């Protein structure tokens, strides 16, 4: 029997795992000893928090970070041929969405390995759910350019696409640049464009607000170093 690839979500911050994830996550983690992770230390901490009796020395953790060598990562799923199940563990939220794990999922399909996605918190989808914007037609755009001119063009392009297609446009920023992003959005977007900001989703400090850019000009939420999702709709 060929092993399966389980896509295992993690919490979006310092939250009790079983408050935001189903019990099925705990059951899967208790059964799997071979994981593909972005950061070994945080992965071990998460596994211990959800399955405290699990033997840490028995775990095999393969790194999938910016230093990972493709020749090595291409062999990460070889153990499935021995009937061993593999857990792909996200650093925050769900694997393979705005996450390097997508390459492993692609590899699994190429090798005819069953992929099993598990339920967990996705900041992108939860922000979209809470935004009040078009949930029938939306696009995730990742990070916008850092260069001032390129960023301005990107923001105007997303606003135009939103107006032309009636499509909600989702994007993110490095947390320490959130305040600059909000300032740019206030300055560049049309006053009538709707903007949603969702920060610290699922945490006690969770902040989610949707209003027109005109109304945002009178608001200055504390977003510094907080994971945030930005959504616009014209």
Residues 127 and 175 in one domain: yes
The phi, psi pair for 48, rounded to 5°, reads: -65, -35
Residues 32 and 53 in one domain: yes
- Specify the number of domains making up the chain: 2
pTM for the model stands at 0.92
CA pair distance 186, 179, nearest whole angstrom: 11
- pLDDT for res 18: 87
Give the domain-ending residue among 100, 117, 134.
117
Give the domain-ending residue among 99, 117, 135.
117
Q: Determine the structural domain holding residue 176 and report its residue range.
A: 123-233
Residue 89 and residue 51 in contact, taking contact as beta carbons nearer than 8 Å: no
Residues 23 and 105 in one domain: yes
Residues 178 and 200 in one domain: yes
Name residues whose C-beta falls within 8 Å of residue 188's C-beta, 6 or more positions apart in sequence: 152, 155, 156
- pLDDT for res 69: 87
Residues 109 and 157 in one domain: no
Q: What is the 8-class DSSP label of residue 176?
A: G
Model confidence band, residue 68 (pLDDT cutoffs 50, 70, 90): confident
* Tens digits of residue pLDDT in 90-140: 999 999 998 899 999 999 999 999 999 999 999 999 999 999 999 999 999
Q: Name the packing angle between helices 23-31 and 40-50 (round to 10°).
A: 110
- Look up the CATH number of the domain holding residue 189: 3.30.950.10
* Beta strand segments in 78-137, E: 86-89, 115-117
């Amino acid at each position: 029997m060929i092993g399966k690839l389980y896509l295992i979500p993690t919490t979006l911050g310092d939250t009790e795992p079983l408050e935001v994830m189903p019990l099925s996550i705990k059951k899967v983690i208790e059964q799997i000893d071979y994981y593909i992770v972005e950061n070994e230390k945080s992965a071990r901490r998460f596994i211990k928090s959800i399955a405290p009796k699990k033997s840490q020395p028995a775990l095999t953790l393969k790194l999938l970070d910016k230093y990972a060598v493709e020749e090595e990562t291409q062999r990460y799923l070889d153990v499935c041929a021995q009937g061993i199940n593999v857990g792909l563990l996200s650093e925050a939220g769900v694997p393979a969405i705005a996450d390097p794990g997508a390459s492993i999922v692609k590899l699994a399909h190429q090798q005819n390995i069953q992929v099993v996605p598990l339920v967990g918190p996705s900041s992108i989808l939860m922000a979209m759910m809470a935004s009040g914007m078009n949930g029938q037609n939306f696009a995730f755009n990742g990070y916008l350019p850092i260069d001032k001119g390129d960023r301005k063009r990107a923001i105007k392009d997303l606003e135009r696409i939103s107006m032309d297609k009636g499509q909600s446009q989702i994007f993110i920023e490095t947390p320490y640049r959130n305040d600059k992003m909000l300032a740019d959005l206030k300055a560049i977007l049309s006053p009538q464009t709707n903007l949603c900001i969702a920060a610290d989703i699922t945490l006690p400090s969770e902040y989610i607000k949707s209003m027109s850019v005109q109304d945002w000009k009178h608001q200055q939420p504390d977003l510094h170093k907080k994971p945030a999702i930005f959504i616009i709709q014209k």
